[in-house]
Structure 1
Amino acid sequence: MACSSTRLRALRLYKELQYLGREYPDPAYNFNGRIRRMFEKNKTLTNPDDIEKALKMGEYIKNETLALYSLRKYRHLKRHYYPASDES
Protein backbone atom coordinates (compact mmCIF):
# COMPACT_ATOMS: atom_id res chain seq x y z
CA MET A 1 0.00 0.00 0.00
CA ALA A 2 2.65 2.53 1.01
CA CYS A 3 4.67 1.72 -2.10
CA SER A 4 1.79 2.48 -4.45
CA SER A 5 0.89 5.69 -2.63
CA THR A 6 4.47 7.01 -2.86
CA ARG A 7 4.57 6.01 -6.51
CA LEU A 8 1.37 7.95 -7.17
CA ARG A 9 2.74 10.96 -5.26
CA ALA A 10 5.93 10.84 -7.32
CA LEU A 11 4.01 10.60 -10.61
CA ARG A 12 1.72 13.48 -9.64
CA LEU A 13 4.70 15.60 -8.62
CA TYR A 14 6.50 14.77 -11.90
CA LYS A 15 3.47 15.79 -13.95
CA GLU A 16 3.07 19.02 -12.00
CA LEU A 17 6.73 19.91 -12.49
CA GLN A 18 6.58 19.11 -16.21
CA TYR A 19 3.51 21.34 -16.51
CA LEU A 20 5.26 24.16 -14.64
CA GLY A 21 8.33 23.76 -16.83
CA ARG A 22 6.39 24.81 -19.92
CA GLU A 23 6.57 28.46 -18.93
CA TYR A 24 10.06 28.49 -17.43
CA PRO A 25 11.59 31.87 -18.36
CA ASP A 26 15.08 30.65 -19.35
CA PRO A 27 14.97 28.09 -22.21
CA ALA A 28 18.73 27.52 -21.95
CA TYR A 29 18.25 26.12 -18.43
CA ASN A 30 16.30 23.11 -19.80
CA PHE A 31 14.00 22.82 -16.79
CA ASN A 32 12.06 19.78 -18.05
CA GLY A 33 15.25 17.91 -18.93
CA ARG A 34 16.68 18.55 -15.49
CA ILE A 35 13.48 17.38 -13.82
CA ARG A 36 13.51 14.21 -15.89
CA ARG A 37 17.15 13.47 -14.98
CA MET A 38 16.41 14.11 -11.31
CA PHE A 39 13.53 11.62 -11.32
CA GLU A 40 15.53 9.06 -13.32
CA LYS A 41 18.42 9.34 -10.87
CA ASN A 42 16.11 8.66 -7.93
CA LYS A 43 14.06 5.85 -9.47
CA THR A 44 16.19 3.16 -7.79
CA LEU A 45 15.60 4.43 -4.25
CA THR A 46 14.16 1.77 -1.93
CA ASN A 47 14.59 3.25 1.53
CA PRO A 48 11.32 5.00 2.55
CA ASP A 49 13.24 7.81 4.25
CA ASP A 50 15.26 8.50 1.10
CA ILE A 51 12.12 8.43 -1.02
CA GLU A 52 10.38 10.88 1.30
CA LYS A 53 13.44 13.13 1.25
CA ALA A 54 13.47 13.12 -2.58
CA LEU A 55 9.73 13.89 -2.70
CA LYS A 56 10.20 16.80 -0.30
CA MET A 57 12.98 18.14 -2.51
CA GLY A 58 10.63 17.93 -5.51
CA GLU A 59 7.93 19.79 -3.59
CA TYR A 60 10.49 22.45 -2.67
CA ILE A 61 11.43 22.87 -6.34
CA LYS A 62 7.75 23.13 -7.26
CA ASN A 63 7.12 25.82 -4.64
CA GLU A 64 10.20 27.81 -5.67
CA THR A 65 9.16 27.66 -9.33
CA LEU A 66 5.67 28.90 -8.42
CA ALA A 67 7.26 31.73 -6.44
CA LEU A 68 9.40 32.62 -9.45
CA TYR A 69 6.32 32.80 -11.66
CA SER A 70 4.45 34.94 -9.12
CA LEU A 71 7.38 37.32 -8.91
CA ARG A 72 7.54 37.56 -12.70
CA LYS A 73 3.81 38.38 -12.87
CA TYR A 74 4.16 40.96 -10.09
CA ARG A 75 7.04 42.67 -11.88
CA HIS A 76 5.07 42.76 -15.13
CA LEU A 77 2.08 44.38 -13.41
CA LYS A 78 4.33 46.87 -11.64
CA ARG A 79 5.92 47.90 -14.95
CA HIS A 80 2.48 48.18 -16.53
CA TYR A 81 0.91 50.38 -13.85
CA TYR A 82 4.00 52.30 -12.75
CA PRO A 83 6.11 52.97 -15.84
CA ALA A 84 9.59 54.36 -15.29
CA SER A 85 9.70 58.09 -15.76
CA ASP A 86 12.20 59.36 -18.33
CA GLU A 87 12.05 63.06 -17.32
CA SER A 88 15.81 63.45 -16.80
Structure 2
Amino acid sequence: MKYMEKLLWWLITGKRGGINRAKIIKKLHERPYNAYQLSKELELDYKTIRHHIQILKENNVIKSTGDSYSKLYFLTEEVEKNYDIFKEIWEKFVEK
Protein backbone atom coordinates (compact mmCIF):
# COMPACT_ATOMS: atom_id res chain seq x y z
CA MET A 1 0.00 0.00 0.00
CA LYS A 2 1.44 3.36 -1.06
CA TYR A 3 1.75 6.29 1.33
CA MET A 4 -1.05 8.30 -0.32
CA GLU A 5 -3.38 5.32 -0.15
CA LYS A 6 -2.69 4.87 3.57
CA LEU A 7 -3.12 8.58 4.17
CA LEU A 8 -6.49 8.75 2.41
CA TRP A 9 -7.78 5.69 4.25
CA TRP A 10 -6.73 7.22 7.57
CA LEU A 11 -8.15 10.69 6.84
CA ILE A 12 -11.50 9.32 5.67
CA THR A 13 -12.12 6.18 7.70
CA GLY A 14 -9.74 6.42 10.63
CA LYS A 15 -10.55 9.84 12.03
CA ARG A 16 -13.71 11.55 13.22
CA GLY A 17 -15.15 13.79 10.50
CA GLY A 18 -13.80 11.67 7.66
CA ILE A 19 -17.03 11.81 5.70
CA ASN A 20 -16.86 15.62 5.62
CA ARG A 21 -13.24 15.50 4.45
CA ALA A 22 -14.25 13.01 1.74
CA LYS A 23 -17.04 15.34 0.58
CA ILE A 24 -14.56 18.22 0.36
CA ILE A 25 -12.11 16.10 -1.68
CA LYS A 26 -14.91 15.04 -4.01
CA LYS A 27 -16.05 18.66 -4.53
CA LEU A 28 -12.51 19.90 -5.14
CA HIS A 29 -12.03 17.20 -7.77
CA GLU A 30 -14.85 18.85 -9.74
CA ARG A 31 -13.37 22.38 -9.55
CA PRO A 32 -11.65 24.79 -7.13
CA TYR A 33 -13.75 26.31 -4.34
CA ASN A 34 -13.18 28.74 -1.50
CA ALA A 35 -14.26 27.83 2.06
CA TYR A 36 -17.49 29.82 1.86
CA GLN A 37 -18.50 28.14 -1.41
CA LEU A 38 -17.73 24.72 0.05
CA SER A 39 -19.85 25.46 3.12
CA LYS A 40 -22.81 26.37 0.89
CA GLU A 41 -22.31 23.47 -1.56
CA LEU A 42 -21.97 20.87 1.21
CA GLU A 43 -24.45 22.52 3.59
CA LEU A 44 -21.89 22.50 6.40
CA ASP A 45 -20.97 25.22 8.89
CA TYR A 46 -18.18 27.51 7.65
CA LYS A 47 -16.06 26.78 10.76
CA THR A 48 -16.45 23.04 10.13
CA ILE A 49 -15.21 23.50 6.56
CA ARG A 50 -12.24 25.58 7.77
CA HIS A 51 -11.33 22.88 10.30
CA HIS A 52 -11.33 20.11 7.69
CA ILE A 53 -9.49 22.28 5.16
CA GLN A 54 -6.73 22.78 7.73
CA ILE A 55 -6.40 19.01 8.28
CA LEU A 56 -6.35 18.36 4.53
CA LYS A 57 -3.73 21.10 3.98
CA GLU A 58 -1.52 19.81 6.80
CA ASN A 59 -1.56 16.37 5.15
CA ASN A 60 -0.82 17.72 1.64
CA VAL A 61 -4.16 16.60 0.24
CA ILE A 62 -5.16 20.10 -0.83
CA LYS A 63 -3.34 23.34 -1.60
CA SER A 64 -4.53 26.92 -1.92
CA THR A 65 -3.98 30.11 -3.86
CA GLY A 66 -5.15 33.67 -3.26
CA ASP A 67 -5.61 35.82 -0.17
CA SER A 68 -7.37 34.77 3.03
CA TYR A 69 -11.02 35.47 2.13
CA SER A 70 -10.96 34.58 -1.56
CA LYS A 71 -8.45 31.74 -1.15
CA LEU A 72 -9.26 28.93 -3.58
CA TYR A 73 -8.52 25.31 -2.72
CA PHE A 74 -7.37 22.61 -5.13
CA LEU A 75 -6.38 18.97 -4.78
CA THR A 76 -2.63 18.40 -4.87
CA GLU A 77 -1.14 16.69 -7.92
CA GLU A 78 -0.45 13.60 -5.82
CA VAL A 79 -4.11 13.26 -4.85
CA GLU A 80 -5.24 13.88 -8.43
CA LYS A 81 -2.89 11.09 -9.59
CA ASN A 82 -4.33 8.77 -6.94
CA TYR A 83 -7.98 9.78 -7.27
CA ASP A 84 -8.97 6.19 -8.10
CA ILE A 85 -7.95 5.21 -4.57
CA PHE A 86 -10.19 7.95 -3.20
CA LYS A 87 -13.09 6.74 -5.37
CA GLU A 88 -12.65 3.22 -4.01
CA ILE A 89 -12.80 4.51 -0.42
CA TRP A 90 -15.79 6.70 -1.27
CA GLU A 91 -17.71 3.79 -2.79
CA LYS A 92 -16.98 1.43 0.11
CA PHE A 93 -17.55 3.72 3.07
CA VAL A 94 -19.21 6.99 2.17
CA GLU A 95 -21.90 6.05 -0.32
CA LYS A 96 -23.43 3.43 2.00
Q: Could you tell me the TM-score, scaled by structure 2's length?
A: 0.26
Hey, which of these two has a bigger chunk of helix by percent? Answer: 1
